[in-house]
């Protein structure tokens, strides 16, 4: 069960490998933790957390390189009330507005030109 997924250390670009079940979506690998995320170590049950904290070169995950000893963080995508949480965006982007812009990411606008034939 599971399959290996590789990530780069953002500090030194050592490649680490992690066995994943594959049903959680990765959000980002960062040299710092996201506020509100709970991180498990690679030896723990990582799917129970919101992400994984690597200890570069010292937790047995490095497959290419010696590691730099720094920590870095793999964060999974999190949703709250159906809205993806993104700590990197200003909070107003998370609100559901009451303006006239529909939330749909795509629509018929791209075909308004016509006349292709
Ligand atoms: Zn490193």
The tens digit of pLDDT for each residue in 11-24 reads: 999 999 998 876 67
Residue 94 burial class via C-beta count within 10 angstroms: exposed 0-12, middle 13-18, buried 19 and up = middle
pLDDT tens per residue, range 38-87 = 999 998 888 788 999 999 999 999 999 999 999 999 999 998 899 998 88
Is pLDDT above 70 for 100? no
Distance 70 CA to ligand 1 centre (A): 6
Location of structure tokens 């506020």: 35
Q: What percent of the chain stands above pLDDT 90? A: 55
Confidence of residue 92 (pLDDT cuts 50, 70, 90): low
Distance 65 CA to ligand 1 centre (A): 8
Beta strands in the chain (DSSP E): 3-8, 15-20, 26-30, 39-40, 51-55, 62-64, 71-76, 78-80, 83-85
pLDDT at position 77: 92
More confident site: 107 or 48:
48
Distance 16 CA to ligand 1 centre (A): 9
Is pLDDT above 70 for 105? no
pLDDT at position 112: 46
Distance 17 CA to ligand 1 centre (A): 13
Distance 13 CA to ligand 1 centre (A): 6
Is pLDDT above 80 for 35? yes
Distance 35 CA to ligand 1 centre (A): 21
């Amino acid at each position: 069960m599971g399959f290996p997924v590789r990530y780069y250390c953002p500090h030194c670009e050592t490649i680490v490998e992690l066995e994943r079940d594959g049903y959680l979506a990765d959000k980002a690998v960062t040299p710092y933790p996201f506020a509100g995320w709970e991180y498990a170590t690679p030896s723990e049950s990582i799917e129970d957390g919101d992400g994984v904290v690597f200890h570069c070169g010292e937790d047995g995950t490095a497959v290419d390189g010696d590691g730099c000893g720094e920590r870095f963080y793999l964060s999974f995508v999190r949703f709250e009330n159906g809205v993806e949480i993104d700590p990197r965006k200003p909070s107003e982007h998370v609100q559901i507005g009451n303006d006239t812009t529909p939330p749909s990411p795509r629509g018929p606008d791209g075909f308004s030109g016509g006349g292709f034939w």
